[in-house]
Structure 1
């Protein structure tokens, strides 16, 4: 496999788009835009671009976004337009959407009623290109934005097999979002006969990492971004390899009870897992910590052969640090960025992630371009709110508040509220917390 920018990759032949599906009651579809650089594209005119219609029409995959949003999140509707599915030249084959077995897949949605803007996003975790449809795509489309998303160039829990060198697969994520942003801006100009007035990047988890990286490395492509609990990578740590091994090591001792449980709990707190988050530890031990440590360790440190619970970042050889440094963040953002992160995140503990990134931005002299909202009661995955409605709050409304604050910041010069911890409103029920989030 090669990354999007690697030398020696012959461009694939571009196929003609599939026949355009005409909307019911429509006189026809606009001439289909061409996606620059795409090896394949399929165009459809749809009565509904949000998941209110794309689930039934087959233009999304609910498996991509399963488990990322609360079950009661409303679905907007009434957004007709054009959808383009396709892929860029690539040699890896983990993404099976459309039966293509081809990575570097993307989706671009162009609403008939356009507000002049474009939102681009990479997926959380190792999911495919529709993963943001419920949490982000539906809402921005309902506000009139064009929306584009990428699978980041490799997917699934074997993503680390993509590439030749440690770090290649993650480095490709960054180049694929850059590639899609450039292509989507050109597609918007074709469709609406003018370029986007504003281009915004946003995403959660690994998608939030991509927002940070893009604003540090390609600020010329964007007007701003919203980072939803982005993953932090830096050669000196902290990162996944400094706080996941302690969780794998100490949680089983804590869960077993007995005289050693108290010390194990204290060790978990010292590793960054906040006091009061203990009720979330069993789920994350069962489903997240071990898998996450393994797949990223195999990507960035494939030479390690010991138990993941025993992994010691400080003792690893210099070439491992160099692999992380290839994908590291610096804090040197070049456009306005708003970060939101839950205080009860126990996959990317806030004290070891966004607290550190906010400090990096300040130390890089870019603090005036950043706002950071620590959301009390938020955790990494919003679907857990359904299991613990009396202890957690969803982050999706806070992301939307951050997004509208960014619109005001870059569009009207209205500076967002100062960075702060957003308190959990006393006595607020699940419906009220899902309805809004005051930054």
Structure 2
């Protein structure tokens, strides 16, 4: 067992959850003759994704991971570690899958052997409910990253589903783009591009446009939901933001709260006379009291790499010719990311962040949920701040915010700490159905509040239930 007490099978996929893109299983596309022979998929080759440079069609008996794992139409490595092991997998969703890519000059995504970025997947169930769900991948993963956490469930409810790799993948995503911030800015453009294209494909398939288009995603995918509803509300009817990353030129952002963790956590972990002051410094940086049991794992697998690659994307001049810093450097070493001070960096760094920054000026209904024990994007430095931004922008009537007690950034950690954590996946589903009722029936969701973790709740409850109307408003 590695440090932190997490089983080895959990550690490796969990490390990939935000940062790494792994080699995918090639999809097995049906030949057009086979597709034409299948009644429910007749004429699928007439479906054309607007703007796509390449696309492949498949007529599938099962669009969820209950079937796509075996058929090769998903990549389990891409979504490994994002959900609890005990999460049920729905099935019984036949339909059409389209895989392809839009024109792009970068080649970080090796899925299907294409070595081409801006890959997408569009799934069109036979039994369609009239809606479309669009998602961008969390972290810097590929287009299948949302399949188990989001895609399976919305497909089982009859939605068409579209997802994108965001235009660049992997821990060296910062190599894409000609200027600081451009690799992340492309993420937003690619979600907009896919949304427009998927709406057109839905209309081709079902002979009418979607009656509702919803954006959702986790972590970086949640950031994309926020950005889309601020900048392209005309494309959507609403969205669910699952612990979205906050980018704000004036801070807080990743580059303001990760360096303190790199400086102070090793001193805290070593014990001794400096441990108390280091612990206080961690809490002051935003890491929640009571989350200390999660710190060893995040120090080993997340904080250092996340700081270095996102700092390289937005402030490559900090370490000169060195690419993405020195792993686990000691404070005081030259250009060490543990010493990074965002506030003292040149103004062009804040301008780079501003190009991807959020404003809170959402134009369609948005539900945000975030775990109180998130120690990658601490809630007090992320969604608490974004909620204030939305209200300060005068958009509070379009917004609900649920702080979920005992949830952390990635649900796979629930398997290691079932007595201390709760998974966010059921809470996302509750938020999604609340959004449906809000935009479809005019039924107002519960006021924003902290959702309590049920006392003595076990997996049968925590893996399936997360009512959002159970505690006092905040």
TM-score after normalising by structure 1: 0.95
- Once the two structures are TM-superposed, the CA of residue 21 in structure 1 deviates from its matched residue by 7.3
- Once the two structures are TM-superposed, the CA of residue 29 in structure 1 deviates from its matched residue by 2.0
- Once the two structures are TM-superposed, the CA of residue 22 in structure 1 deviates from its matched residue by 4.0
**Residue segments in structure 1 that go unaligned for 5+ positions in a row:** 1-16
Instruction: Please give the secondary structure, in 2, of the residue aligned with 1:212.
Output: helix
Query: In the alignment, which of 412, 417, 430 is matched to residue 459 of structure 2?
Result: 430
1:51 is matched with which residue?
Answer: 65
1:19 is matched with which residue?
Answer: 31
Instruction: Please give the secondary structure, in 2, of the residue aligned with 1:288.
Output: helix
RMSD: 1.2
- Once the two structures are TM-superposed, the CA of residue 427 in structure 1 deviates from its matched residue by 1.2
Query: In the alignment, which of 145, 154, 159 is matched to residue 145 of structure 1?
Result: 159
1:37-436 equivalences in 2 (<5 Å): 37-305=51-319, 306-436=335-465
Closer/same/farther in 2, CA of residues 21 and 163 from structure 1, 3 Å limit:
farther
- Matched residues in 2 for 1:100 and 1:31: separation? 25
- Once the two structures are TM-superposed, the CA of residue 19 in structure 1 deviates from its matched residue by 2.2
- Kept in 2: contact 1:68–1:383 (CA 8 A): yes
- Matched residues in 2 for 1:414 and 1:308: separation? 47
Q: What is the number of residues matched between the two proteins?
A: 423
- Once the two structures are TM-superposed, the CA of residue 27 in structure 1 deviates from its matched residue by 3.3
- Matched residues in 1 for 2:40 and 2:378: separation? 50
- Matched residues in 2 for 1:260 and 1:425: separation? 36
Instruction: Please give the secondary structure, in 2, of the residue aligned with 1:372.
Output: strand
Instruction: Please give the secondary structure, in 2, of the residue aligned with 1:373.
Output: strand
Query: In the alignment, which of 35, 43, 63 is matched to residue 31 of structure 1?
Result: 43
- Kept in 2: contact 1:23–1:47 (CA 8 A): no
- Matched residues in 2 for 1:429 and 1:72: separation? 12
| CA distances 1:380-405 after superposition (whole Å, capped 9, x unpaired) | 00000000000000000000000000
Instruction: Please give the secondary structure, in 2, of the residue aligned with 1:230.
Output: coil
- Once the two structures are TM-superposed, the CA of residue 26 in structure 1 deviates from its matched residue by 4.1
Closer/same/farther in 2, CA of residues 29 and 320 from structure 1, 3 Å limit:
same
- Once the two structures are TM-superposed, the CA of residue 422 in structure 1 deviates from its matched residue by 0.2
- Matched residues in 1 for 2:193 and 2:90: separation? 29
**Residue segments in structure 2 that go unaligned for 5+ positions in a row:** 1-28, 320-334, 469-474
- Once the two structures are TM-superposed, the CA of residue 435 in structure 1 deviates from its matched residue by 1.2
- Once the two structures are TM-superposed, the CA of residue 28 in structure 1 deviates from its matched residue by 5.7
- Once the two structures are TM-superposed, the CA of residue 116 in structure 1 deviates from its matched residue by 0.1
